[in-house]
């Protein structure tokens, strides 16, 4: 995958202007439509609060064909992307969790945790410099409960 970062905000395909965009690799998907299909399904469902728009594109770098990618919006909390309450001190607030994160330092340790199924989950919102220990424990417990429910349903 590639992350595109412009010097100034750009609107691609008529979407909200932003500096950061993502090209998702489709090399593991022989049909070349899984990422696009998943995003389209998310946009159709009523109860999904945010799904990035996506477009299938051919990518060339310095004239060399790199393959078929899915161009999507960078997932981030900001106007025109995920419009949630940003950096609230409340425990029952909006959270953005990224799987496979690297972890940020917080006042109480790290913003990353593991569940039984959910490995390397990093809390991206609220930002690590305002994330409280109570918020961390709340979302970790919530994800752990969901993990356990899935595991039990498969037994």
| pLDDT per position as a tens digit, 2-30 | 889 999 999 999 888 899 999 988 878 88
Task: For 109-155, write each residue's pLDDT tens digit.
Answer: 677 788 788 878 888 888 888 888 899 899 999 999 999 999 999 98
pTM as predicted: 0.68
**Residues in contact with 107: Cβ distance below 8 Å, sequence separation at least 6, in sequence order:** 133
């Amino acid at each position: 995958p590639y992350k595109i970062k412009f010097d100034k905000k750009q609107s691609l395909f008529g979407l909200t202007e932003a500096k950061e965009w993502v090209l998702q690799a489709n090399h593991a998907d022989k049909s070349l439509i899984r990422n696009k299909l998943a995003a389209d399904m998310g946009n159709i469902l009523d109860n999904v609060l945010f799904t990035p728009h996506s477009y299938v594109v051919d990518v060339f770098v310095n004239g060399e064909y790199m393959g078929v990618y899915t161009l999507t919006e960078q997932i981030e909390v900001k106007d025109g992307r995920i419009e949630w309450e940003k950096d609230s001190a409340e425990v029952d607030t909006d959270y953005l969790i990224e799987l496979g994160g690297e972890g940020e330092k917080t006042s109480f340790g790290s913003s990353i945790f593991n569940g039984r199924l959910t490995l390397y989950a990093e809390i991206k919102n609220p930002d690590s410099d305002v994330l409280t220990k109570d918020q961390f424990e709340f979302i970790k417990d919530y994800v752990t409960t969901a993990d356990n429910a899935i595991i039990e349903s498969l037994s």
